[in-house]
Amino acid sequence: MLSVPVTEASRVAEARRCAVTMAQGLGFDETAAGRVAIVATELATNLVKYGNAGEILVGTFEDETGTGVEILALDRGAGLANVDEALRDGHSTGGSAGTGLGAVRRQSQAFDIASWPGQGTAVVCRLQQISASATAAPRAPATVGVVSVPLKGETANGDAYCVRRRGEGWTAIVADGLGHGFLAAKASDEAVRLFRKHEHERPSSILAAVHAGLGHTRGGAVSVARYDRESGLVSFAGIGNVAGAVVGAGETKRTVSLPGTAGHVARRIQEFEYPLDPDGLFVMCSDGIGTAWSLDAYPGLIGAHPRLIAGVLYRDFSRVRDDATVIVVRNLRS
């Protein structure tokens, strides 16, 4: 994902440019790219007006809901006392026409917002080539949300990830190449390639294949997780500090990852199993995300769009000296 810090009004144009460029890269026509420009402009402008500065993240998505551009707006401002009121056209606390968030929602195929007084606001929008008004047919809900951002100043992301559907379950990997930059990215990309080659094996077997295949790279931390809907269990195997967590109502269970560096040192590869509630989440984070988070601090967030959840965790727990990746997976339903 591309990160655009929005600290002043001049950065609004940069956020818009990044979003439109990404849309054009996906083949969006002029009209569809114009909708992306409207959304990016409104969200970035709100960060300047109300967010006491914030960050726009721009990425793409391709899943069961379709393909398109995804924009996240994150701030640590005063937050909204009443989200529904803020979405109503005509509502404004900044002297504007009050159509910003309402216009953003209308232009988007998917929209979600979370805000808490004193804890800032997070907004996620998904835009596709078709217009929002043309999508009358029900769309599948998003079940996977990812935020993956390279270290500031780097063009290559030393983290890589992949989530693959497996029947009514899923298999996922997060790889954090040692260090950062191009060589770290080379290691993590190779880990994902090996994951795809062995994805139908057990997580411990996948991890063993990744470990065996990364010897020509600088290696890194790698974790693999699989959810089986029939058993209701997540199987998890990790080398190094890519963390996992099973999140349910009022409880977060951290997974066990063993010490080592995939590709170089792994004294033992072991698989652990954890029950996952039907309405629960599984979260995986690279070392660029601190481990002290809990969704209990954000009332209602557990039911939000997975990318919004990932965005809030990135906003509040990313470490500025490393690449940062958060994956949030909800149960995939057929």
Could you report the per-residue pLDDT of 168-212, keeping only the tens digit for each? Answer: 899 999 999 999 999 999 999 999 999 999 999 999 999 999 999
Distances (CA, A) of 228 to 21, 180, 195, 235, 243: 39, 33, 18, 8, 19
Instruction: Give 15's pLDDT tier (boundaries 50, 70, 90).
Output: very high
Is there a domain that residue 51 lies in?
Answer: yes
Tell me, yes or no, whether 77 and 100 share the same domain: yes
pLDDT reported for residue 333: 54
Longest pairwise C-alpha distance within the chain: 62
| pLDDT 10s digits, 130-164 | 865 555 444 556 689 999 999 999 999 999 999 99
| pLDDT 10s digits, 239-277 | 999 999 999 877 899 999 999 999 999 999 999 999 998
Instruction: Give 301's pLDDT tier (boundaries 50, 70, 90).
Output: very high
Average pLDDT over residues 285-297: 95
pLDDT reported for residue 85: 83
Q: Are 15 and 43 in contact (CB under 8 A)?
A: yes
Helices (H), 54-201: 83-86, 100-107, 182-198
Residue-by-residue DSSP string for 154-172:
-SS-SEEEEEEEETTEEEE
Q: Are 73 and 43 in contact (CB under 8 A)?
A: yes
Is there a domain that residue 84 lies in?
Answer: yes
Q: What is the enclosing helix (H) or strand (E) of 134?
A: none
Which of these three, 134, 157, 188, is where a domain ends?
A: 134
- The residue type of 8 is E
Average pLDDT over residues 10-26: 96
Instruction: Give 284's pLDDT tier (boundaries 50, 70, 90).
Output: very high
Burial class for 172, CB neighbours closer than 10 Å (0-12, 13-18, 19+): buried
pLDDT reported for residue 81: 81
- The residue type of 273 is E
pLDDT reported for residue 97: 34
- The residue type of 12 is V
Average pLDDT over residues 54-82: 91
CATH of the domain at 128: 3.30.565.10
Q: Are 16 and 40 in contact (CB under 8 A)?
A: yes
Q: Which two tokens stand for residue 55?
A: 């960050």
Is there a domain that residue 139 lies in?
Answer: no
Which of these three, 111, 134, 157, is where a domain ends?
A: 134
Domain that holds residue 198: 144-330
Average pLDDT over residues 31-53: 91
Tell me, yes or no, whether 268 and 119 share the same domain: no
Tell me, yes or no, whether 112 and 36 share the same domain: yes
Instruction: Give 98's pLDDT tier (boundaries 50, 70, 90).
Output: very low
- The residue type of 266 is A
Tell me, yes or no, whether 192 and 161 share the same domain: yes
Tell me, yes or no, whether 124 and 156 share the same domain: no
pLDDT reported for residue 95: 40
Tell me, yes or no, whether 166 and 285 share the same domain: yes
Is there a domain that residue 322 lies in?
Answer: yes
CATH of the domain at 216: 3.60.40.10
Which of these three, 95, 110, 134, is where a domain ends?
A: 134
pLDDT reported for residue 53: 78
Number of folded domains that form the chain: 2
pLDDT reported for residue 94: 47
Instruction: Give 228's pLDDT tier (boundaries 50, 70, 90).
Output: very high
Tell me, yes or no, whether 307 and 215 share the same domain: yes
Tell me, yes or no, whether 109 and 185 share the same domain: no
Instruction: Give 49's pLDDT tier (boundaries 50, 70, 90).
Output: confident
Strand, coil or helix: what is 327? strand
Tell me, yes or no, whether 85 and 161 share the same domain: no
> Distance between CA 182 and CA 186 in Å, rounded?
6
pLDDT reported for residue 137: 47
Instruction: Give 332's pLDDT tier (boundaries 50, 70, 90).
Output: low
pLDDT reported for residue 102: 85
pLDDT reported for residue 289: 98
Tell me, yes or no, whether 312 and 286 share the same domain: yes
Tell me, yes or no, whether 80 and 165 share the same domain: no
Residue 163: name the closest of 58, 284, 60, 313 by CA. 284
Average pLDDT over residues 8-35: 95
> Distance between CA 34 and CA 123 in Å, rounded?
19
Tell me, yes or no, whether 17 and 115 share the same domain: yes
Is there a domain that residue 128 lies in?
Answer: yes
pLDDT reported for residue 245: 98
